[in-house]
Structure 1
Amino acid sequence: MNVTIEKKDALNATIAVNISSADYAPEIDQKLKAYQKKSNIPGFRPGAAPKSMIEKMFGTSVLLEAVNAAASKGLFDYIDSEKLNILGQPVLTDDSKIDELNKTADYTFKFDIGLAPQFDLNVSDKDTFTRYEVTIDDAMLMDEIERMQRRFGTLTDEEVVGDNDIVYTKMSELDENGNAIEGGVNNDSVPVLISSIKNDAIKNELMGASKGKEVDVNVFDLFDNNETEISHALNINKLTVADISKNFKLVINEIKRNGLAEINKDLFDKAYSDGSVNTIEELKDRIKTELQAYFGGQADHLFEHELTDSLVAKQNIQLPDAFLKRWLIDRHADKFNTENVDQNYENEAQYLRNHLFEEKVLSSAGVKVEEADIKAAAMNYTRGMFGAYGNTGFNDEMLESIVGPSLAKEDYRSKMINLAVSQKVREVLKSKVSVNTQQVTSEEFFKIVAEHNEKHHAHNH
């Protein structure tokens, strides 16, 4: 066997694997003997069919398997011995097709490969980033307390529509002349939350209205063109929403108002069943702690995104784009083809750039991800998952009983390894760059996050 490499440039190469019968003949003989042992052919004892008959029946397929196996072994042994850092997987060249199989012939297979780029990590304290801290003021705390009062308040019947009311209506589909459509959509109990109406004309007409008032509305304007919400409200299939008339008659049947619960011990216990809150000052402290944790997590998430996005872009990591597109089409034909590969390639390329950047960060810092790091990532992930559903009472022993078996599953373990790697990378980067802290209001913070998400979404599309 003879294996050679032809480097086309820093990112692309072709490996030629030349094999002779000496490389694949032993495999053929071994496989034919195995077939012979398992054979059960009429006229012969089990396992006693003549080798010539077995070769006639299975020879071609065995030869093909043996040749391919020898070529593959030669290819990957060479990649390992030369320590080539490849991207994707080798792709057989078009001129490597075998026209005719012969068990004594020499064969040459050529494989195009994409090479990982070599680059020096360019990160220093001159790279400056901002971590935002949201100011939790008394007005924000009182807003949260009012939301709590509404959540635990009671619904009351009202005579006149107010800004925070729920109006239960009858809605009937109309034609373009304002007449009821026979067999059209009719629903006797459609709830409408006044505060969620974004169309000012409709909202103003309903505000101050009494029971029994009839209003002709554009149902798409009423529900802000949200087809899912329209289908739920009218109790129709979402697929039919586009076919209904926009004109509906709305009749107010009931007006409900969510009254505010009193601020007292009963409210505190409903909000926090552990009984730890006894005064409004303690309530504010509890809410403030929760808001600081929430906004702190959101601020960390934003900071880490901007940190990684900016520094990856700064490295200007070049990839063997043409090869990788060929590889995607060759290996993932269910997702990629010649028509869509250019459009869908950038997301794959960005994932690779991020991966190469993370590898460089850790190798440059001499940092390795250990088993303890993987377990810690899994523990934090599981703790956060349960916390999102309000289950915060899990101790480490209980979490370990969940995490242990999960880490034995390949997909879950791979996900936790990625989380552990990302955590280590962020720790290294934070130690290298300069970080400024900036106080902002919650409104300013949400605006910053929205701008980041819009920019990120536009970049990915």
Structure 2
Amino acid sequence: MNITKEQIDDLNAVVKVAITKDDYQDKVDTILKDYKKQANIPGFRKGQVPMGLIKKQYGKAVLVDEVNKLLQDNLNKYLTEEKLDVLGNPLPKQQDNFDWDQEELAFEFELGLAPSFEVPLKTKKAITQYKIVADKKMIDEQVERIQKQYGKLVSKDVVSKKDEVSGSVTNEEEEINTTAMLEVDQLKSKKAVDALVGKKVGDEVTLKTKGLFKEDHTLASVLGIDKQRAEKLDIEVTFKITEINEREAAELNQELFDKLFGPDKVKSEKELKERIKEDSEKQFEQQADQKLLNDVTEYFIENTKFELPTGFLTKWIQMTGEEPLTEEQATEEYEKSEKGLRYQLIEGKIIRDYDLQVQFDELKEFSKGFIRQQMAQFGQLDPKEEELDSIAARVLGNQEEVKRLSEQLMSQKLLNLYKEKANLKVKEVTYENFVKEVYG
């Protein structure tokens, strides 16, 4: 067997493979002999079928199969030994009226080669790294929410602006008939507030759904309908009051602190606010990190210039999809995937240049971190190491989970590298301002 490469240009090449009978004949003969031993053909005893008949019936199929195996094995070996960084897979060039009876079989494969480029991590333009802080307003609001959540309900006779009002909500035309609880201070509509304040159990009020709540998503949950329907809804509903309650705020005392964080972990209102600030900013950090990772990724895609073997990749998409595509369809698919392919190449280059690897021990500790977070959500704040090891072993026994966690850990390694090497400017903002800047 002889394999040679013809370089077309920097991004395209053709590999030529010449195969002679010496490369495959012994293997073909061995397989045909096994067929002869097992063949059941009418008119012949088992094992006594003439070899000529076996070759006539099975010879071409066995030859094609063995040659294809040889091609695949040796082509992959050649690409590895020659250290050719290919995109997609080699594409066989079409050969019409191919003669399998030739003494020497010649095949050609088109290659799309990965481009050569550099990725300077010290970006020319400074990229914003957000540091989100929990300000006094946010912390005070969170304390109020906690006091309200853990407070007790006191029955009332007349609705005031601070009450929770329960009742039935109906609209025959839209087939709405449900029960709901409204927090008066969460109503955006002044007309709705005025309609409710002063009412008693048994009274009915008419409420317009459009612009009823401060938070638009509240309407869907109150009416028991899906979000899409709620967004378009502009009707009047009848609300009949069945219960009026005022939620008396819980005292900021040790009993509440222990309920929230465990015995003696927080001992004063000051410590409570410090803990809220710390926990909030830890959650904000994840959002800020994701924003930074996205921004650095976009910067590299936009500013790392290199050519791709577009023609080859379009043909590869056209020929290797689950269903055959036209050239126009393949071009459209390539255009959709080009940005992702560019970042895969950029990310792979960075990983190689900085020797970023995911070791099993790192992956195990990383998975245990996720497990701790999940257990904490269910009140298990101090799990034993043996329990974590046991759960992590089960998680890492699932290959899909290993793949998912490995990708997340590699993203974390890339993020840490960007924080160390990239040109970043830190911008301190409140969460409210972060949302405005990032999401408009």
Q: TM exceeds 0.5?
A: yes
- Deviation, 1:87, is 1.5
Q: Map Cα deviations across residues 413-442 of structure 1 (whole Å, 9 max, x no partner).
A: 333333343333333333323433332222
Q: Deviations over 1:267-316 (max 9, x none)?
A: 22222233422322222222222123222333233233323332343222
- Equivalence map 1:8-19=2 (5 Å): 8-19=8-19
Change (3 A) 1:371 1:167: same
Deviation at 1:319, TM superposition (A): 2.7
Q: Say whether 1:185 aligns with 2:175.
A: yes
2:257 pairs, out of 268, 272, 281, with 268
Structure 2 residue 330 is the aligned partner of structure 1 residue 330: no
| Residues 1:448 and 2:437 are matched in the alignment | yes
SS of 1:299's equivalent?
A: helix
- What amino acid does structure 2 have at the position aligned with 1:432? K
Q: 1:314 aligns with which of 290, 303, 319?
A: 303
Match of 1:360 in 2: 349
Match of 1:128 among 92, 102, 126: 126
| 8 Å contact kept, 2:167–2:179 | yes
Does structure 1 conserve the Cα–Cα contact (< 8 Å) formed by 2:153 and 2:245? yes
* 8 Å CA contact retained: 2:301, 2:339: no
Structure 2: how far apart are the matches of 1:17 and 1:168?
80
C-alpha deviation, 1:84, in angstroms: 0.6
Which residue does 1:30 correspond to in 2? 30
Which amino acid is the alignment partner of residue 141 of structure 1? I
Matches within 5 A, 1:89-100: 89-93=89-93, 95-96=94-95, 99=97
Contact kept? 2:163, 2:183, Cα under 8 Å: yes
Gapped regions of structure 2 (runs ≥ 5): none
In the alignment, residue 86 of structure 1 is paired with which amino acid?
A: V
Shift of 1:362: 3.5
CA contact (8 A) 1:155 1:257 kept: yes
**Residues in 2 aligned to 1:334 and 1:196: alpha-carbon distance in whole angstroms:** 53
CA distance in 1, matches of 2:186, 2:315: 49
Match of 2:168 in 1: 169
- State the Cα distance separating 1:69 from its structure 2 match: 1.6
CA distance in 1, matches of 2:85, 2:431: 46
Structure 2 residue matching 1:89: 3-state secondary structure:
strand
Asked if 2 retains the 8 angstrom alpha-carbon contact of 1:161 and 1:206, the reply is: no
Q: Spell out, residue by residue over 1:310-331, the C-alpha distance to the aligned partner (whole angstroms, 9 max, x if none).
A: 2343222433334334333433
Are the structure 2 counterparts of residues 209 and 366 from structure 1 closer, same or farther at C-alpha, using a change threshold of 3 Å?
Answer: same
* DSSP 3-state at the match of 2:13: strand
Greater Cα shift, 384-393 or 144-153 = 384-393
Q: Structure 1 residues 428 and 239 mapped into 2: Cα distance closer, same or farther (>3 Å)? A: closer
Q: In structure 2, which of residues 376, 383, 391 is the aligned counterpart of residue 394 of structure 1?
A: 383
Does the 8 A contact of 1:17 with 1:74 survive in 2? Answer: no
- Give the superposed CA RMSD: 4.0
1:215 corresponding residue in structure 2: 206
Structure 1 position 13, deviation (Å) = 2.7
Deviation at 1:142, TM superposition (A): 1.8
Query: What residue number does 2:150 align with?
Result: 152
Deviations 1:166-201 (A, max 9, x none): 543331233xxxxxxxxx614142455556666x47
2:239 aligns with 251
Aligned residues: 435
* Identity across matched positions, percent: 28
* Partners of 1:377 and 1:419 within 8 A in 2: no
Contact 2:169-2:223 at 8 Å conserved across structures: no
Give the structure 1 partner of residue 399 of structure 2: 410
AA aligned to 2:177 is N
Q: 1:234 to 1:396 in 2, by over 3 A?
A: same
C-alpha separation in 1, matches of 2:370 and 2:167: 42
